[in-house]
Amino acid sequence: MTNSAFKTAAVIVAAGRGTRAGAGLPKQWRALAGQRVADHSIAAFVTHPRIDHVLAVVHPDDTLHMDGLPIPTALGGATRDASVQAGLETLEGQGFTHILIHDVARAGIDATTIDAVIDALQTGADGAAPAMPVTDALWRGENNLVTGTQSRDGLFRAQTPQGFAFDAILAAHRAHPGNAADDVEVARAAGLDVTIVAGNERNLKITTPDDFARLEQHLRNDQRGPMDIRLGNGYDVHAFEEGDHVILCGVKIPHTKALKGHSDADVGMHAVTDALYGAMAEGDIGRHFPPTDSEWKDMDSAVFLKHAVDLATSKGFTISNVDCTLICERPKVGPHAAAMMARMGEIMGLTSDRVSIKATTSEKLGFTGREEGIAAIATATLVKP
C-alpha cells in the first residue's frame, strides 16, 4: 500500500439466489472456466496487493459451498443492502479505513479496475465506482411500441467494486430505509459524493444463462493469453533438365523438360515448406533434410511438407492459410491449379479455400523468361490461440 494509514477490506456479496440465471445452483456456485463463479471473484481480491482483507457474505442455505472458500464469511440478509450491511457490521472495529463492495456475479473483475477505485479513494474521494458510458440509443416504450427516445448523455452502466470510507458507508447503510439498487445509492442518500472511474466491458454481471457463455469466453482468452500469429515466407528455384514432366505442388504435369534437384524438385511445395519453417524460425528444408544425405535422393517432397506441418502442430500452431506463386513461362499452371490446391490441402489438412496456388510469368525476362527453370514464392500463416 502507498499509505500506511490506508487499510482496505473487500466485501464480496454472495448471498443472492440469482433466479434469472436459470434452474440449478445459485449462479455464484456454478462452474465457469474451470472454477466456480465465486472463486474467480474472490481470487481477484485475495491476490490483489492493495487489499488487506476479504470477507464473503453468503446465504444461510449455502453453508455446504462455504467450505471451499479461502476467506472468512458472514451470513447475509433478505436483500442485497441487508447483506452488505451484515458484512460491514462484521468488519467494524478491525481498523479498516476503506471498503470495496463487490457483487460476486461480476467474476470478470480485473486488477486495473480495482486499482482505479482505490486510487480515487486515496486521493480523497468519499466514494468511487467503475462504470461504462451508455453508447446504445435509448428508447421509451409501451405495449411493445417505441413511444419516444431518451438522451444517453451523462448516462453510465454501473459496475462494482464500489469503494468508500469505511465509517461513512457503514453509517449510510444504518440510516438507509433499504431496497437500494446498489451502494452508490445508499452513499448518495447520505450526502456522499461518488467519483466515477473507468470500468471494463468484461466486468459484466452474470444475470441470465447467456451471460455465462459471454464471460467464459473472456476468461478463457485471459488464460490462453494473447493469440500468437506468425507469418513465414519461402522462395525456391529449380533449373530445367532433360525429361518429360515436372512435379509442381504435388501434381505431375507433362512437359518437354524436367526440374533438376536432389529430391523430386517440386519447387512450389519446397517454397511452401520453407514458408512454414520460416514462420516457426526453424530454418529451411536444407536444415532438416540435407541435400548431402543420400537418404533424400529423389524423395517425394510431400515428406518435407508433412514434416513442417507436424512440427507446427507439435508447437501448438494451426495453419491458417498458404499462398504460393509459381513463376514460369511454361508449363501453364492454370489448368492444374485446382488439383494442386487439393493435393497441398490434403497434405496440410486444409480445405482448398485456404490454399492458394497461382502463377505468373516474368515477361520473358531473366532465367524464368528464358525458360531455364521455375521459381516459386510462398507465404504461410500460423496461429496459436
Share of the chain above pLDDT 70, in %: 96
Burial of 291-308, coded b for 16+ CB within 10 Å and e otherwise, reads eeeeebeebebbebbebb
Looking at the predicted structure, is the pLDDT value of residue 222 above 70?
A: no
Per domain, the residue ranges of the chain are 8-223, 228-384
Q: Do domains 8-223 and 228-384 have the same CATH topology?
A: no
- Alpha helices by DSSP H, the chain: 37-46, 63-66, 80-91, 111-122, 166-175, 183-189, 209-224, 267-279, 285-288, 302-314, 337-348, 366-369
Q: Is the pLDDT assigned to residue 223 strictly greater than 80?
A: no
More confident: 138 or 224: 138
pLDDT: which is higher, 293 or 343: 343
pLDDT of residue 384: 85
pLDDT band at 217 (very low <50, low <70, confident <90, very high): confident
Residues 62-87 pLDDT 10s: 878 887 788 999 999 999 999 999 99
Say how far apart CA 90 and CA 112 lie, in whole Å.
Answer: 27
Q: CA torsion, points 13, 14, 20, 25, in degrees to nearest 10?
A: 180
* Helices 302-314 and 337-348, axial angle in degrees (round to 10): 40
Q: Which CATH architecture has domain 228-384?
A: 2-Layer Sandwich (3.30)
Lowest mean pLDDT among 60-74, 188-202, 295-309, 315-329: 60-74
Q: pLDDT at position 16, please?
A: 87
- Please give the pLDDT value at position 1: 38
The answer to whether the pTM exceeds 0.85 is no
- Write b or e for each residue in 157-167: b if 16 or more Cβ atoms lie within 10 A of its Cβ, otherwise e: ebbbbbbbbbe
User: What is the model's pLDDT at position 2?
Assistant: 43
**CATH H-level superfamily of 8-223:** Spore Coat Polysaccharide Biosynthesis Protein SpsA; Chain A (3.90.550.10)
Query: pLDDT category, 176, cuts 50, 70, 90?
Result: very high
Q: pLDDT band at residue 356, thresholds of 50, 70 and 90?
A: very high
